[in-house]
Structure 1
Amino acid sequence: MHSHVLAAIRSQPWAIMPGHLEAIEAIALRVFDDPAVLALKRDGHEERISAVTQMGAKAPATRTSMLRDGVGILPVMGPVFPRANVMTQYSGATSLDVAAADLRALEATPDVRSILLAVDSPGGAVAQVNEFARLVAACSKPIAVHVTGLCCSAAYWIASAAPGGISIDPTGIVGSIGVLISTSYQESADQNGRRDLDIASSNAPNKRPDLSTAEGQAQIRQMLDGIEAVFHASVARGRGVTEATVRNDFGQGGTKTGKDAKAAGMVDRVEADGLDGAIRRLAKSGPATPRRTAAANQLALANARSAL
């Protein structure tokens, strides 16, 4: 049973910080005293999730969103999954189908003048992330992001799409741009003296690559690089920079904090008063958009120079 659970997790690519993927595997196996799980319980994310729920009243027709002073607050907290599962129930993880329904409800609510994604997430499964990012980018109301803790990998993919830009707590962390897969291969017979054997059809030799070889690993890496290219293109489009800038200046898979993230162009504002300050700012004036216009102008100039 456990092997099937791990196989399901390891059969898909992830845009997530590696240590958090270990915790996901442990929680899926119900090993709640695993060191990776205990480390998450100590990182303060549960307190940050609780703080978001206290920022306003429940928004009409939503499952997770709040409403305060005309600002709809949509949390993107914990690991990101395409649909609700044991992780969303256990650790307050984000289900993208629920988040998408909430976003549409906030768009349709007359009392909501602007929308703020409150993000504290290490990333998650790649499935549906690009689609949700496009939904954010196409939102009919002003929409911005505030990072209360982590905004990494898949979460940054989503956040970078917000036309109103990204603000961040001074100690917030963004980045970890990249795609990984957790997998394994069998080196010896299993405990029952049996060895799993996969045989692919004659014209599908790459269906079961040999991960013990450099060639097999290269095949998996080629697939991950293809997803990463979509990731880079989405971030570049959302942030108004070139893909080369994303590859070279946005951490190369690492992370940046607060003012360093702003200096790199990964966020637009360090919010000294945190999430509360971001809500008050949006309630007063709505998300500022000059950054997107300025970034678009810079991108056009960079593209023009590269064509010379």
Structure 2
Amino acid sequence: MNIVEAAISAPWAMLPERVEELVAIASRENSTTPEALEAYRSARADNGERLKIRDNVAILDVSGPLFKKANLFVAFSGATSYEILRRDLQAALDDKAVDAIMINVDSPGGEANGCDELAAAIFAARAKKPVTAYVSGMAASGGYWIASAADKVVVSDLAVLGSIGVVLGITDRKKADEKNGISRLEFVSSQSPGKRPNVETDEGKARIQKMVDDLATVFVSAVSKHRNVTPDTVIKKFGGGGVEVGANAVALGMADEVGQFEAAFAALSTRGKNRRFQRSGGSFMSTTETADIAKIQAEAAAKAKSDERTRISAITGTEAAKAHPKLAKLLVDADLSSETAISFLNAAAEDTKAAVDAKTPAIDPAKAAADEAAAKAKAFEKKKAEAGALGLGTQDSTEASATVAAGWGKAVTNANRRVN
């Protein structure tokens, strides 16, 4: 496969017209010598394509077409390599003098392969140092994939953002081969029908389309995560494969604000200094991270205090605790859960009741009724005696009361007999 075929057959997250430009460069008849290309690459190495540090901010330039690997073709076409950017990003993260990272983007996009890895690395870098993407010119397709990974996206007034999607071109060489008298025969293993889909059939086209759609789904999902929106929002509001300009992109949520490079750089520098790393416990921790930890610890302490109050209240508020206050205090001091402590108190209450019931003699219902009747009769006769009724006087002894009660009982019995 020659360089032209490689350029055409690879999946691209790039503006179509720029893909055509790359193919045109690759297919030029007047080839350049390796020596000339090497000299060109050496010159480009010092022109700001690689990592630069200004004050406390590292600047990563994402410009031109994007490719996974660094090679002569990348340098010759004015492209940028994902691998170089990834190494420069790591260098910026490792440099203790760097407090923040600026991703300076002006790219139509590029090769899909490797773009996701670089964007994921930028997204992860946000947890360590502030990362701002500044877009001047364009951040299209793969360029936007990378820019969206920053925690803040600032765009110039005329910046073009979007072109979210994947393009795959397939070259039909049949006519060229026929013209040149070339006949190609290709045999595919019977177990692998999907290895060489025939794009002239609906089934073959469907296979290719599915692959492109799956690649685009990865792209959309990444932007959704980076911008903290739903995939549906990315599909419907972020250009639908087209592009948006400046303030329109901000209004749709594709970027955060319109501004100029120097203003964005100054704001990022200040933000980085505010998160300047401080030595803490053998590791580097930012002031923001330290404040977050202090806040979390304070919230945890407050919750623990509230939970303790709730536990004590649940234990001491039961009837069993009121009956056994000393036991309740012991259970609270033992730091038992409210459920366990209450179960102990309830068991103690049940045992106490059983012990009391065991010491209380059984009551004979008949005797109790007789005792109650005798008491009522005694009281009645006493009142009558005090009133001088029936000449009984004021007899008050137990024996006299019993005699009176027996006499009245006998009189009532005789009266009932006569009636019956």
**TM-score category of the 2 structures, normalised to the smaller one:** 0.7 to 0.9
Hey, what does 2:192 align to over in structure 1?
Answer: 204
Q: CA deviation at 1:88?
A: 2.4
Could you tell me whether the CA contact under 8 Å between 2:65 and 2:110 is conserved in 1?
A: yes
Q: Counterparts of 1:191 and 1:4 in 2: how far apart (Å)?
A: 19
Percentage of identical aligned residues: 38
Q: CA deviation at 1:287?
A: 10
User: 3-state DSSP class of the match of 2:102?
Assistant: strand
Q: Is the counterpart of residue 185 in structure 1 residue 186 in structure 2?
A: no
Pairing of 1:72-111 with structure 2 (within 5 A): 72-111=58-97
Distance 1:94 1:200, change over 3 A: same
Q: CA deviation at 1:68?
A: 1.4
Distance 1:287 1:169, change over 3 A: farther
Q: Counterparts of 2:182 and 2:29 in 1: how far apart (Å)?
A: 26
Hey, what does 1:58 align to over in structure 2?
Answer: none
Q: CA deviation at 1:9?
A: 2.0
Q: Is the counterpart of residue 26 in structure 1 residue 24 in structure 2?
A: yes
**Alignment partner of 2:119 out of 116, 122, 133:** 133
Bigger-Rg structure (1/2): 2
Q: CA deviation at 1:214?
A: 3.1
Per-residue CA deviations over 1:62-114 (Å, capped at 9, x if unaligned) read x7111112111100111111111234212431111111110111111122110
Q: Counterparts of 1:74 and 1:31 in 2: how far apart (Å)?
A: 34
**Alignment partner of 2:232 out of 202, 221, 244:** 244
Q: CA deviation at 1:31?
A: 5.6
Q: Counterparts of 2:256 and 2:75 in 1: how far apart (Å)?
A: 33
Hey, what does 2:336 align to over in structure 1?
Answer: none
User: 3-state DSSP class of the match of 1:256?
Assistant: strand
Hey, what does 2:264 align to over in structure 1?
Answer: 278
TM-score, normalised by the number of residues in structure 2: 0.58
Q: Which runs of 5+ in 2 are unaligned?
A: 31-43, 275-420
**Alignment partner of 1:120 out of 82, 103, 106:** 106
Could you tell me whether the CA contact under 8 Å between 2:63 and 2:79 is conserved in 1?
A: yes
Could you tell me whether the CA contact under 8 Å between 2:11 and 2:112 is conserved in 1?
A: yes
Q: Counterparts of 2:263 and 2:221 in 1: how far apart (Å)?
A: 31
Q: Which protein, 1 or 2, shows the higher relative CO under an 8 Å CA cutoff with sep ≥ 6?
A: 1
Q: Counterparts of 2:134 and 2:73 in 1: how far apart (Å)?
A: 23
Q: Is the counterpart of residue 220 in structure 1 residue 218 in structure 2?
A: no
Q: Is the counterpart of residue 66 in structure 1 residue 64 in structure 2?
A: no
Q: Counterparts of 2:273 and 2:230 in 1: how far apart (Å)?
A: 23
**Alignment partner of 2:163 out of 152, 157, 176:** 176
Q: Counterparts of 2:240 and 2:273 in 1: how far apart (Å)?
A: 29
Could you tell me whether the CA contact under 8 Å between 1:185 and 1:212 is conserved in 2?
A: no
User: 3-state DSSP class of the match of 1:167?
Assistant: strand
Could you tell me whether the CA contact under 8 Å between 2:164 and 2:241 is conserved in 1?
A: yes
Specify the code of the residue in structure 1 equivalent to 2:168: I
Q: Which runs of 5+ in 1 are unaligned?
A: 33-48, 54-62, 289-308
Q: Is the counterpart of residue 261 in structure 1 residue 259 in structure 2?
A: no
User: 3-state DSSP class of the match of 2:2?
Assistant: helix
Q: Counterparts of 2:141 and 2:29 in 1: how far apart (Å)?
A: 25
TM-score, normalised by the number of residues in structure 1: 0.78
Pairing of 1:123-162 with structure 2 (within 5 A): 123-139=109-125, 140-162=128-150
User: 3-state DSSP class of the match of 1:150?
Assistant: strand
User: 3-state DSSP class of the match of 2:216?
Assistant: helix
Per-residue CA deviations over 1:6-46 (Å, capped at 9, x if unaligned) read 222233211111001111111222368xxxxxxxxxxxxxx
Larger proportion of helix? 2
Could you tell me whether the CA contact under 8 Å between 2:130 and 2:268 is conserved in 1?
A: no
Q: Counterparts of 2:60 and 2:68 in 1: how far apart (Å)?
A: 16
How many corresponding residue pairs? 258
Distance 1:92 1:192, change over 3 A: closer
Distance 1:4 1:191, change over 3 A: farther
- Calculate the aligned-residue CA RMSD, in Å: 2.3
